[in-house]
Amino acid sequence: MIATERVALRRRLPLLALAAVFAPIVARGGDDVLPDVLRSHLEAIKVDGVKKHEQFLTSDDCAGRDTPQPGLAKARDYLVEMHTKFGMTGAGEGGSFLYDFEVPSVTWSSDDHVAIVRGAGDADLDAFLPGTDFVPVRNSASGSAEGAVVFAGYGIVDDKENWDDFKGVDVKGKVVAVLLHEPREGKKDKRFTNEEWTPTNAITHK
* Cβ atoms 99, 109 nearer than 8 A: no
Residues 28 and 15 in one domain: yes
Residues 202 and 119 in one domain: no
User: In angstroms, rounded to a whole number, what is the distance separating the alpha carbons of residues 194 and 118?
Assistant: 41
Residues 151 and 203 in one domain: yes
pLDDT at 192: 74
Give the residue with greater pLDDT, 196 vs 96.
Answer: 96
Residue 171 sits in which domain range?
146-206
pLDDT at 177: 93
- Tell me the per-residue pLDDT of 17-30, one tens digit each, with 9 for 90 and over: 433 333 343 334 44
Residues 57 and 20 in one domain: yes
* Cβ atoms 160, 184 nearer than 8 A: no
Q: How many domains does the chain have?
A: 3
Q: Which of 144, 161, 195 is the last residue of a domain?
A: 144
Beta bridge partners of residue 158, listed in sequence order: 163
Residues 80 and 154 in one domain: no
DSSP secondary structure, 66-86, as one string: SSS-HHHHHHHHHHHHHHHHT
Q: Which of 51, 74, 105 is the last residue of a domain?
A: 105
Residues 140 and 179 in one domain: no
Residue 82 sits at φ, ψ, to 5 deg, of: -70, -40
Closest to 45 measured CA to CA, from 11, 18, 77: 18
Full-model pTM = 0.48
pLDDT at 65: 64
Q: Which of 77, 105, 133 is the last residue of a domain?
A: 105
User: In angstroms, rounded to a whole number, what is the distance separating the alpha carbons of residues 182 and 195?
Assistant: 12
* Cβ atoms 1, 114 nearer than 8 A: no
DSSP 40: H
